[in-house]
Chain A
Amino acid sequence: MLQTVKPKNARSKRVLEAREPKLVENEKTTLFLRGTSASKIVQDAIGDLHALKKPNAVKFQKKNAVHPFEDASALEFFSRKNDASLMVFASDSKKRPHNLTFVRFFDYQMLDMVELGIDGETFRKMSDFKNAKAGVGLKPMISFSGSIFENNPTYAQMKLLFLDFFHGNTVSEVDVESLQYMISISAADATDENPNPKIHFRTYMLKTMRSGHKLPRVELEEMGPRMDFKIGRIQEANPDLMKGAMQKAKGQEMRTKKNISIDPMGDKIGKIHVDRQDLGKLQTRKMKGLKKRSRGESDDGDNDIEMEDEDVDMGDDALPAVSPKRAKV
């Protein structure tokens, strides 16, 4: 028999309910933690990434004697404790200097892991850039530049990993004012001398200017952090676990709207089906004699209608009491 935690009061009950699997999921929480040895650079790096991920992020202050690629069970424990399904583990060693391990979890089990080594010379932390920073908790725009993200399976995997880490909450609407910053991830193409090019992680503040057109001119200003990653060890996802993670909730699938399409120019095109016109009901020239009248219609009403008809005989006015019966027949 499985043991489950039973909430002892209303508050803990609410917490446990918030952690239950949901049809439409909440934003993933990210946990930042460091190993027993961590250089200044990686500590600054996780500090800045934490600032970008706030408020859905937790940062541990103490050292943790963990080696993710040897035994991830400690991280799984932290994931469960903090209800965090994303994790960044900072470590530094002679063999792997300035190392960040990006870990994803599904159902508190380790899904996949990637080691990214920061280039210590090009690293700049956020406070090195003296400018305004983006507001806390805003959804960033993300761009991936470089054909390698389409061609190379490892880099394609990195693309999905970064998208998962930084896309924030999935929302149906976004305030245009809140589009304040962009995370730009780019990599050069692989060459023979350099089969594994570095991934350049940059964050920019957006500035929109009047352009004289309807659309604004966008300019960027680097906000930090600036990191160049070298891909290290990769732990692929267990296919069974990944299959469970990719399952779509029933009733949540996108419904295709019939007859509405958007062409490559971005114009919305609707297809309308119109019934054949009923020519029997076509309004032709109005004539007194052809008018259909109900029995109970009053004389006042008759006069009103007559006023509208322009080309009625004047004689009709003299005979307002044409009986409705006759008109009907």
Chain B
Amino acid sequence: MATAMDVDEPQKRSVTVTKPIPLTFDLGHLAAFDANPLPPLTPQSLEETLHSTARDAAQLIINQILTTVELKSTQDGVYATLPDPITQLPREKPVPKPKEPTKWEQFAKKKGIAAKAKDGKLVYDEATGEWVSKWGYKGANKGVEDDWLVEVDERKQQDVNDNPRNLSRAERLERIRKNERQQKKNEKKAELGGASSSASGYKNRRR
């Protein structure tokens, strides 16, 4: 036992560093700020001085991390949870603006209409007893489009030459186009609302 202790003794290296002005840390950036003036730098001792001040700073950062920060040991290793950075640095790009509400969203808010809950893509078809998609291939929004027999609706059939088979489909396509028009209008409105301060487009800024 005693010999083992003797061997350990010379290994006791100092882990403490004392500085006249204590260092400040920004562990979010893993940074240390040492406000102590450097000892006079002569060309001969320059590297030595820089090395020793850097070593002291490194020791203090490591001490600070291992003592003040929460350490999590996982299978992959020990992780130190870093605090949020204190020093604020400039952003790369401006803070994104919140999305402009669409005309419907504005209206719904005014009237207090809650958004419809999303209840999936499928809907139950009582006639066949099957679950079919709401739209798309064999979708439930097709109505009478694919039926082998179509009743002539005299209110919709304004021109005698119109094919009564196509009327339901034309109506559906018109609904799609209307929705696209509204989308475009909303996009345009949002762009005008946010364009005043945002950066100009890429193509305009070419040399």
Q: Which residues of B, 26-41, contact A by the 8 Å Cβ criterion?
A: 28-38, 40-41
Checking B29, B51, B201 against A167 with a beta-carbon cut-off of 8 angstroms, the contacting residue is B29
Contact, CB under 8 Å: A22 / B58: no
Complex contacts, B207 vs chain A, CB 8 Å: 73-74, 77
Contact A189:B37 (CB < 8 A) given known A170-B85, A176-B80, A217-B59: yes
Contact, CB under 8 Å: A175 / B76: yes
Contact A206:B201 (CB < 8 A) given known A106-B92, A145-B34: no
Complex contacts, B33 vs chain A, CB 8 Å: 143-144, 149-150, 159
Q: Kindly state the interface size class of chain B when it binds its partner.
A: 35 or more
Cα A208 to Cα B59 with chains together (Å): 9
Binary per-residue interface labels of chain B (43-66) against chain A in the complex, 1 for a CB within 8 Å, 0 otherwise: 000110011011101110111111
* Residue in B closest to A176 when the chains form the complex, CB atoms: B78
Checking B11, B38, B63 against A189 with a beta-carbon cut-off of 8 angstroms, the contacting residue is B38
Contact, CB under 8 Å: A107 / B93: yes
Q: Does B140 contact A (CB under 8 A)?
A: no
Cα A60 to Cα B172 with chains together (Å): 54
* Residue in B closest to A23 when the chains form the complex, CB atoms: B96
Contact, CB under 8 Å: A160 / B93: no
Q: Does B121 contact A (CB under 8 A)?
A: no
User: How many residues does chain A have at the interface if contact means C-beta atoms less than 8 Å apart?
Assistant: 86
Checking B61, B82, B84 against A143 with a beta-carbon cut-off of 8 angstroms, the contacting residue is B61
Contact, CB under 8 Å: A173 / B34: no
Cα A244 to Cα B94 with chains together (Å): 6
Cα A244 to Cα B15 with chains together (Å): 43
> Interface on A for B, CB 8 Å cutoff?
2-5, 20-23, 25-26, 28, 73-74, 76-77, 80, 85, 104-109, 111, 139-150, 159-160, 163-164, 167, 170-177, 179, 182, 184, 186-189, 200, 202, 204, 206, 208-220, 222, 237, 242, 244-250, 254, 262, 266
Contacts A/B (CB < 8 Å), 28 sampled: A77-B207, A80-B205, A106-B90, A106-B93, A106-B94, A108-B199, A108-B205, A142-B29, A142-B32, A143-B54, A144-B31, A167-B31, A170-B28, A174-B79, A174-B82, A175-B76, A176-B79, A176-B80, A188-B40, A189-B37, A189-B38, A211-B11, A215-B15, A244-B91, A244-B94, A245-B91, A246-B91, A266-B67
Give 16 A-B pairs besides A106-B91, A247-B95 with Cβ atoms closer than 8 angstroms: A20-B96, A25-B92, A74-B207, A77-B206, A77-B207, A142-B29, A144-B33, A146-B38, A167-B89, A174-B30, A176-B78, A182-B57, A184-B58, A244-B94, A245-B91, A248-B88
